[in-house]
Amino acid sequence: RAYHALFMQNMLIMPTAEELEEFGQPDYVIYNGGAFPANRFTSKMTSKTSIDVNLEQGEIVILGTEYAGEMKKGVFSIMNYLMPLQEVLPMHCSANLSGSGDVSVFFGLSGTGKTTLSADPKRKLIGDDEHCWTNEGVFNIEGGCYAKAINLDPENEPDIFNAIRFGTVLENLVYDPQTREVDYGNSSITENTRASYPIHFIKNVQIPCVAGIPKNIIFLTADAFGVLPPVSKLTPEQASYHFISGYTAKVAGTEMGVTEPQATFSACFGAAFMMWHPNRYAALLAKKMHENHTNAWLVNTGWTGGSYGTGSRIKLKYTRGIIDAIHSHGLDQVDYIEEPNFGFQVPLSCPDVPSELLVPKNTWENLVAFDATMQKLVHLFKENFKKYESGVDPEIVAAGPR
C-alpha cells in the first residue's frame, strides 16, 4: 500500500541524498504482503497473520495484516537482537530531556500514558517509542512518532494534536469524506487508532534525537486493581524485576469476555520484540543504572479508591504533577514509607498532588477488600515471574514482592 511507504518514510531515520549515493545494498528488506493471508496449514502457523524475521537472510515478511506498525516493530526486533551484542540496551520506551540536559525514559504498555506524558511542553522530546542506551547516552532508533489517537483532545495532548497535518498517516480513524474532519472518538474500526508523523512535526523536539545518560527511569502502569501507589521509588534490582515483569492491567469493556481487571505482563515492556532471554536486557539495565546512579520510579496511571468499577482513574493532572516533581527533584527531601508487599519506597507528600492519594490503602473504604486485592496482585506477579526465575540473577529475583 502507498501509505505503508509514507509510514516508513515518517517512522525511520531517512538517509540524506549524499548517503543514498553511497548506500550500496540494504542490510534488511521488508516484504509487506499484508493484504494476502498467511497459509494456516503451514507447519506451526496458527493464524492468517504472520510476521516473520529471518536474521540470516536479512528479510522480514508480513502477511495477513495491513497494520503499518508491524513494519517498525520488525525493525525494532532486529535492533533487540543486534544491540545487546554490543552491550547496548534497546528499550521500548519514550524519552525526553530538560533544558539542562537531564534525560528521562518512560516505559509502559499501551494505554499507560507513555506517549502522552513524554510529550511535555517543558521538555524536549527525544522520541516516543524506541531507543538505545549506550555508554555515552540514549539515541532514538526512529525518525518519527506513532501516537495513539483514540479520543485525542487538543487540551490534554496539544503536541500530538498539532502534529497532525499534511504528511501524517492516520490509521484506523473515521472521518467525514466531505469536510475531512476526523472523528477521534470513533472506535468503530478498532480502539487502536494511530497517527504517524515525522518527529519534527512536534514543536519541542531534540534534533538529532540523541542525548545523554538517563537521570530517571519511569515505569508506567495502569493498575486497574487500584492497589499500587501513584508513585514509588525503586532500587536498581527492583527496577530490573519490574522491567522483566512489564505489568499493566486490562479493564472490563475493552475486550470481549473481560468482566473484571486482568493483569497483563509483557517482559521488558515489549516481549514480542525481545530476541534474547529477558534477563539479558534486565541485567544490562541494572548495570547501567548502578554505573550512572540513575533513579527508577514506578508510576501508577490507573485506579485509586478501589478497583476498576469502584474506584476512579487517577487524574492526568496529578500524574503530570508527579512527573514534574521527579524532574524538579521535588521528591528528594520528602518522607518515605516502605510499601509492605512490594518493598518499594512511597513518598508521603508530592507537590500539586493530594497527599491522601499517595498511599492507596488510605483511599479505599473497604480495607479487607484492599488487602485481598493486593494479595491477588502479588500472587499474579509471582506466578508470572516463575517462567523467568531459572535464568534471572538471584538479586533480581529477591527484589520481587514478598
Q: Where are the alpha helices (DSSP H) in 202-303?
A: 236-245, 278-292
| Residue 46 neighbours by CB distance under 10 Å | 9
Task: Count Cα neighbours of 205 within 13 Å in the Cβ-side half-sphere.
Answer: 21
Task: Identify the pLDDT of residue 53.
Answer: 94
Give burial (CB, 10 Å; 0-12/13-18/19+) of 104.
Answer: buried
Q: How confident is the model at residue 120 (pLDDT cuts 50, 70, 90)?
A: confident
Query: Which candidate, 216, 75, 196, places its Cα nearest to that of 133?
Result: 216
Residues 6+ positions from 64 with CB-CB distance below 8 Å: 34, 36, 37, 38, 47, 48, 49, 50
- For residue 59, list its beta bridge partners: 29, 54
| Residue 61 neighbours by CB distance under 10 Å | 16
163: helix, strand or coil: helix
Most confident of 134-143, 255-264, 386-395: 134-143
pLDDT above 90: residue 297: yes
Task: Identify the pLDDT of residue 343.
Answer: 96
Q: Output the nine-digit C-alpha cell for 369.
A: 477488600
Share of the chain above pLDDT 90, in %: 87
Q: Output the nine-digit C-alpha cell for 222.
A: 495502569
Query: Which candidate, 193, 187, 261, places its Cα nearest to that of 224?
Result: 261
Query: Which candidate, 85, 84, 69, places its Cα nearest to that of 30?
Result: 69
Give phi and psi for 147, each to the nearest 5: -95, 145
What are the tens digits of pLDDT across the range 208-260? 999 999 999 999 999 999 999 999 999 999 999 999 999 999 875 444 555 67
Contact 62, 33 (CB under 8 A): yes
Q: How confident is the model at residue 261 (pLDDT cuts 50, 70, 90)?
A: confident
Give burial (CB, 10 Å; 0-12/13-18/19+) of 59.
Answer: middle
Share of the chain above pLDDT 70, in %: 98
| Mean pLDDT of all residues in 305-329 | 95
Q: Where are the alpha helices (DSSP H) in 246-315?
A: 278-292
Task: Identify the pLDDT of residue 29.
Answer: 97
Task: Identify the pLDDT of residue 252.
Answer: 54
Query: Which candidate, 56, 69, 3, places its Cα nearest to that of 28?
Result: 56
User: Which residue type does 128 have?
Assistant: D
Who has greater pLDDT, 251 or 280? 280
Q: Output the nine-digit C-alpha cell for 38.
A: 498467511
d(CA 392, CA 369): 33
| Mean pLDDT of all residues in 13-24 | 92
Order of strands, sheet of 29-33, starting from the edge strand that comes earlier in the sequence: 29-33, 59-63, 50-54
Lowest mean pLDDT among 51-60, 112-121, 260-269: 112-121
Strands 210-211 and 214-221: unpaired
Task: Identify the pLDDT of residue 250.
Answer: 80
| Mean pLDDT of all residues in 296-303 | 97
Task: Report yes or no on whether pTM surpasses 0.85.
Answer: yes
Local structure of residue 270 (DSSP, 8 states)? -
Task: Identify the pLDDT of residue 259.
Answer: 61
| Mean pLDDT of all residues in 195-212 | 94
Handedness of CA 83, 89, 94, 96 (dihedral sign): negative
What are the tens digits of pLDDT across the range 78-111? 999 999 999 999 999 999 999 999 999 999 998 8
d(CA 127, CA 118): 8
Give burial (CB, 10 Å; 0-12/13-18/19+) of 36.
Answer: exposed
52: helix, strand or coil: strand
Task: Identify the pLDDT of residue 260.
Answer: 74
| Mean pLDDT of all residues in 143-157 | 91
pLDDT above 70: residue 23: yes
